Amino acid sequence: MKIEIVHDQQQGAQLVVEEFQTLLARRSGAATFGLATGDTPLAVYQQLAVSPLDFSTSTSFNLDEYVGITPTNLQSYHYYMNKNLFKYKQFANSYLLDGQNPDQQTVCENYEKLIAQHPIDVQLLGIGRNGHIGFNEPGTSFESRTHRVKLSETTIQSNSRFFDDQNQVPRYAYSMGIGTIMAARKIILMAYGANKAAAVAKMVNGPVSVAVPASVLQRHPQVEVILDEPASTGLSVK
Ligand code: PGA
């Protein structure tokens, strides 16, 4: 794991944008990006939106989506991506999991087939306070592929900040599995703020265990971890 401590999210985002630029050049514009939602990657999308980068021959996949809400719902990850990135940058193909389709087998198998056709060059990740990546909660198999997930109480509580009340937070989501994420050629995980420090420390210095899904990244050959100072305080080696 390569660990970079940055001053703030803007500086972290700058590193990511530079990597995207290099990748686009290397692939002559036809790269495949794995994207994430949440607070963590927001600055990346803000900087991409005003950058000259051209994604018109690239492909994107999103990590996850809630089940049972429409793409126009303000809390859906479709809505987030349209609002923060796709409104500004169009990709040749942008794939998101269809949270409106209750047929989990079809949704998940189709997604895996599409990813197999367009292997992900770089996957962006945040990390949950419980160490989750995507919606892969503690206990999820490292072999898992795209699947339907029952959200943990911690995640429901944490995500309730975006909803009017906790009862509106969906209880299920579709998510790339840990095996799907690990198949990406490169992974960039960002974490900002002291409330991520414990999860970051377990991810980097702890044993590789399904109890901390992000710890599996220790086994990936190309991982970059971008942290601000508060998120890095639990690390034993800096
Ligand atoms: P956040 O979420 O970026 O909103 O902190 C990250 C996550 O829970 O994976």
Query: What's the pTM value of the predicted model, to 2 decimals?
Result: 0.96
**Distance from Cα 159 to the centre of ligand 1, integer Å:** 9
Per-residue pLDDT of the chain (238 residues; tens, 9 = 90+): 999 999 999 999 999 999 999 999 999 999 999 999 999 999 999 999 999 999 999 999 999 999 998 999 999 999 999 999 999 999 999 999 999 999 999 999 999 999 999 999 999 999 999 999 999 999 999 999 999 999 988 888 888 888 888 888 999 999 999 999 999 999 999 999 999 999 999 999 999 999 999 999 999 999 999 999 999 999 986 4
Residue type, 91: F
Check pocket membership of 40 for ligand 1, CB cut-off 6 A.
yes
Tell me the β-bridge partners of 172. 150
Q: Phi/psi at 129 (nearest 5 deg)? A: -65, -25
By annotation, the residues acting in catalysis are 64, 130, 132, 137
Enumerate residues 6+ apart whose C-beta is below 8 A from 44.
12, 13, 16, 17, 124, 190
C-alpha span between 115 and 96 (Å, rounded): 11
**Distance from Cα 52 to the centre of ligand 1, integer Å:** 27
Element (H, E) at 155: helix 153-159
Q: Report the nearest atom of ligand 1 relative to the CA of 155.
A: 8
Q: Report the nearest atom of ligand 1 relative to the CA of 38.
A: 4
Check pocket membership of 12 for ligand 1, CB cut-off 6 A.
no
Considering only CA atoms, which of 84, 3, 70 is closest in space to residue 37?
A: 84
CB 182 within 8 A of CB 208: no
